[in-house]
Structures are given as C-alpha cells and as structure tokens.
Chain A
Amino acid sequence: MRRALRAVVLGGALHFKQESRNPFFLWIVICTPLVYATMAYFLFRGGQDDATLVTASLGSALMGIWSLTTTAAASTLGRQRRVGILELLVAAPTPFWLTIVPITLALAALGVYSLATGLIYVTVLFGVPVTIANPFAFCVSVLPMILSMGMLGFLFCAAFVRFRSSWMVGNLFEFPVWTLSGMLIPIAVLPVWVEPISWFVAPTWGMSALREAALGNASPWDDIGMCIALSVVYAAAGGALLRVFLRSALRRGTLALS
C-alpha cells in the first residue's frame, strides 16, 4: 500500500514538473479558458450578470482541464510506445496501472493553471469581481475534481491501449464532455434524455461543486462525494480494462505494434 502511494505521489510530482514544461500542454490549459471565457463574455452580452460570468469563467477553466486530460491521457500510451519504453514499463515490477495513474493525475493537476487563469482573466480584463462564497469548500472541491478528471483520463488511456491511433480519442470526447457536464451550457438547456447520461460524467459533479462553492447557492459536498465515488468507479473500470487488454497484447505480442 505504501509502495503504491509512493509510486503515485512521486510519479505524479515528476510528471507534473515534466508536463509543466510542455508548451503544447501549457497552451491548452492556459489559452482554452482565455478563449472560451472571452467568447462567453461576448455571448452573454458583456456581463449583465456577474454570477453568469463567474460560472462561465469556472466552466471555461474546467474546459481547459478536460481538453488537456482527454487529449494527452488518451495518447499517453502512444507516447510511451513511440519512445520505445512501453514494453519496459509493462515488464517493470511496479504494476502498470501505477505507472499510468500518476501521469493522468498529473495532467489533470495541470488544470490548476487553467483555474487560476480563468478566474484572474475574468477579474482583470472584464472587471467582474470573483467573490467565492465558500472558500474552504471551493479549495476542497478542486482536489476531487482533479482526481475525477484524472481517473476518467486513466479510463480512456486503459480503454485504448490496443489502438495505435489512441490520440484520436482525445478529439472525439472533448466537445461531448464539455456539452454534457454543464461547463458552459446549463444542463437544463439540453434534451431531457441527456441529463441522466451527464450524471455518469465526473466533470458534471466537479463543475457543480465549484459553482456551488463559488456562488453559495447550495451545498457542494454532495457533488464532491459524487466526484470521489465516480473516481473509484473509473479507477476500477480502468484497472480491469488495462488488465484485459494488456494480457491480450502480451499473448499476441502486439504491445509495440498494435
């Protein structure tokens, strides 16, 4: 247990530092909230309602986090394959999932840049005062939100271990999750049948937790609980998928070729 925790913490810190120096990743987490917050500002007609703009800035920040997680996590194994270390990582004594989880968690954790950018940008450029109604709950809700996004990234990473074009998956899920999870569009606007689907998408609860903590309209703790619960589900599903796919790849000798 301690060894697993050590692998996650040290691996996460290492990858966080490493990915913080990737210009493309930094571009995604910093510019996505800038562009979408600006777009929201214009579309919501120049901020007649501060609460809407605060929500939009939080939403655009989460869009940046998801964009990076889905793009980078889905292609994580592809990158390992390309640099020729995938087989070594699989053969290492550390369980393979313990190698992957820190990477996807670190990618989601880069989202703190996105969150900071979104809030500072809206405050400085548009003069919208960002007052957090419940600062303690807000800070607490950031962690499960990052955890849930990281674990969803892990699930994607595991699900596409057999595909050489796994990088493509990031593109596929970017807009659907943005749409489903109420980051910029209220879920009430979507068709009724969509809402139950959004319950299974952790960013929905992460967004809800941050919004409730920031605006103080309702308690964010239920949402935080849902984030943690879904993270466990994603981790279990991702671990199981990874096991099945890796066994299959090892049996066929297609790990590097798939």
Chain B
Amino acid sequence: MIRAVERRLRVFAFGGLLSYRALFGWVNPYVFIGVMVIPDLTQIVFFAYLGRATGIGDDTFFLVGNALVAAAIPGLFGMADTISDERRTHTLSLLVVSPASRLSLFLGRALPIALNGVAVSVIAFAGGSLILGVKIPLTAIPALVVVIAVTAFACTGLGLVNASIGLRQRESATISNLIFYFLLLAAGVNVPLALLPDWLATIAQGLPVTHGAEAARELVAGARLADVAGLLGAELLIGAAYALVGLAAIRAFELQARRGASLELA
C-alpha cells in the first residue's frame, strides 16, 4: 500500500518535472522570455491602446484582463503538448501501456504548468503596469497573487480538457488557439461582459478567467480578498469542473483509442 502511494507520488513529482522540462526545451531562458513574457507584454500594450482608441475601459481594465489570461497560454498549450509531443516523439503508445496511474501522471504534468501560469501572469502584471504606468496598490498584491493562482489553476483545468481532445485530434495547436481566442473575446478580458450579447455573456460565466478577472479588477479598485471570495470560489469551482471532465475524458478517449488502435492516427 505504502509502496503504491510512493510510486504514485514519484510519478506525480518526477514525471511532472521531467515532462515540464522536456515540454519547453529549457536549454536557454531566452526561449521562455521569447515565448511567454514578451508576447504577453506586447499583447497588453496592444489592447491598452485599442482601449484608448475605442474609449472603452482604462489601461487598468486591459492590464488586468490580459495579465490574467496570460496564465491560460501555458495551461492550454502546455497541457495539449503533453499529448501531442508524446505522439510526435512516438512515445504516446509507451505512455498508454505503462502501468503508471493516469491521475498521478496527468496531475503531475498539470502542476508545473499551473505554476508556470502563475509566474507568467505575475510577470505580465508587473511588466504591464510598469510599461503603462498603472499603479497597483501594494496592499492588493498578496490578494492578487491568490487570484492569479486560482485563475492559473482554472486555466490548467481547461487545459486538461484540451489535452483530452489531443487524444482524438491531431491539430491540438489549432484547438488551443481557438480556445484562447474565445477567452480573449468572451471571458471579459478585453470586451466588458455588458457589451457582449446576452447568450455570450451567459457562456462567459462558465469560462475560466471571467470571474478571476472580475475579482482582480475589484482588488485593484480597493476591495479586500474577503470581498471577492464569491468570485474566487466560482473560478475555483469552474477550474475543478474542467479538471474532472478533462481527466475523465482522457481516460475515456484513451480506452477508445486502444480499442480502435487509433492512438497514432488521431
């Protein structure tokens, strides 16, 4: 029993860490900066100026929204790549026949990605506020970190669903982009929910980032962590729901692929 738990923890911790390192090919830090830092900062600047041009929202609105959605990039693309990279390197079949617990395996891979999402989002927040001259109250920073962590978790949950689709679909990058663009459009990141049609605003309530962005905006405006507990709870719940659906779908699609011998063909 203890050995089984130990094995699971080992798969969770070391498997996740190794997979993460292989995922981004971290030979040089410049790859991280080029892929995850600079694009997020330039995205913040682009939308802040778009906001100035349209007169909708101030710089803070766009900084908060885009800094939070930055956590979705590692969550979506990173999780999808855990499947597609295995397929590309012809190790997906080996992974599927291995006796390792799928729960430990995929949660182990999700944890570093969620932490990465937190780091990217914090950097985007700090860098974006410096570039745009947005003042974030120092007292709000610890609560903001909590919101960022919850949002990164929710995005990674959605990433697990995305990863499961990777077992059925070869074009995981396309699907990741599709989901990310949908978040940009509908999750209250760049377009206030009040400006969206009702049906889209309703869908937004079930997306990661929507409640996180709202909570972060309230914190920057002076609210306390307790004031946004409801929003945080909703974000957490959404993330957990996506994670559960993702893990179940991975299991179901894996069985389906084994039965149909379609693992490499998807």
Contacts and interface: CB of A to CB of B under 8 A. Distances in A.
Contacts of A185: 46, 49-50, 53
B173 A172 contact: no
A168 B32 CA distance: 9
Nearest to B25: A165
Contacts of A233: none
Interface in B142-185: 171, 173-174, 177-178, 181-182, 184-185
Interface stretch (A40-48, A87-95, A219-227, A247-255): A40-48
Interface stretch (B37-45, B91-99, B210-218): B37-45
A189 interface: yes
Q: Is the interface of B mostly helix, strand, loop or mixed?
A: helix
A39 B184 CA distance: 9
A171 B195 contact: no
Interface in A165-197: 165, 168-169, 171-172, 174-176, 178-179, 184-186, 189-190
A24 B35 CA distance: 18
A175 B42 contact: yes
Contacts of A31: 177-178, 181
Interface residues of A, number: 29
Give the most central of A43, A179, A186: most B CB within 10 Å. Answer: A43
B49 A27 contact: no
Contacts of B249: none
Nearest to A178: B46
Interface string B18-46: 00000001000011001100110011011
Contacts of B171: 23-24, 27
A76 interface: no
Given A39-B190, A176-B42, A189-B53, A27 B34 contact: no
Contacts of A28: 177
A35 interface: yes
Interface of B: 25, 30-31, 34-35, 38-39, 42-43, 45-46, 49-54, 56, 171, 173-174, 177-178, 181-182, 184-185, 190-191, 195-196
Interface of A: 23-24, 27-28, 31-32, 35, 38-39, 42-46, 165, 168-169, 171-172, 174-176, 178-179, 184-186, 189-190
16 contacts: A23-B174, A35-B181, A35-B182, A39-B190, A42-B191, A42-B196, A44-B54, A45-B54, A45-B195, A165-B31, A168-B31, A171-B34, A172-B38, A174-B42, A175-B42, A184-B50
